[in-house]
Amino acid sequence: MTAASDEVALVAPVQAEPSGRLSGPAPSLRAEMAALRADPRQAVQEDWIRCLICGRSFRQLTNTHLRSHQTTPAEYKRGFGYNRGRPLMCRALQRLYAHRAVSAGLADRIRQRPILVEPELRRRGGSRPIALEELLTRRDVRRRARALVSADR
């Protein structure tokens, strides 16, 4: 069995119904995937990230995996509402890579900042499209602030 056929089986797992017919994905998997698509931040956990297309868990969603779904990282992020800068990896791997960058002195080797080099960026005044992930995070922050204010009364 090839990797592509394995992945197709994971996209739509089949189950035998009492009548002997095969059905699509289990209702619990469909419900979980719907919840993750509604709030994509929940797909990124400490030790894994869930692919919102096939439902498999990985440490990192690689270009190779996304190519198997005929998509790119930019299209995936845009399609599911992630911020453009969101790394498609679990939090533990993000911390590991950040630690390596700091210990290697990566920031010291960066010679230019785009906002200083491109005057157009300054003229735009920080205007940019806002992704679903950011809208959900802002909403959560406002709710927590309101809850604190109402608890103080």
Name the domain count of the chain.
Answer: 1
The CA-based diameter of the chain, rounded to the nearest angstrom, is 67
CB-based contacts of 134, cutoff 8 Å, min separation 6: 83
**Residues of the domain holding 39:** 3-152
* DSSP per-residue codes, 94-127: HHHHHHHHHHTTHHHH----HHHH-HHHHHHTT-
Give the residue, 47 or 18, on which the prediction is more confident: 47
3-state SS class at 23: strand
Q: pTM for the complete prediction?
A: 0.64
In 3D space, the residue among 49, 50, 52 whose CA is nearest the CA of residue 93 turns out to be 49
Give the residue, 6 or 127, on which the prediction is more confident: 127
Q: Using CA atoms, how far apart are residues 3 and 52, in angstroms rounded to an integer?
A: 18
* Contact (CB, 8 A) for 85 and 73: no
Mean pLDDT for 31-55 is 93
* Contact (CB, 8 A) for 43 and 87: no
Mean pLDDT for 91-104 is 94
Q: What confidence category does residue 25 fall into, taking pLDDT thresholds of 50, 70 and 90?
A: low
Backbone angles phi, psi at 60, to 5 degrees: -150, 140
Mean pLDDT for 38-44 is 93
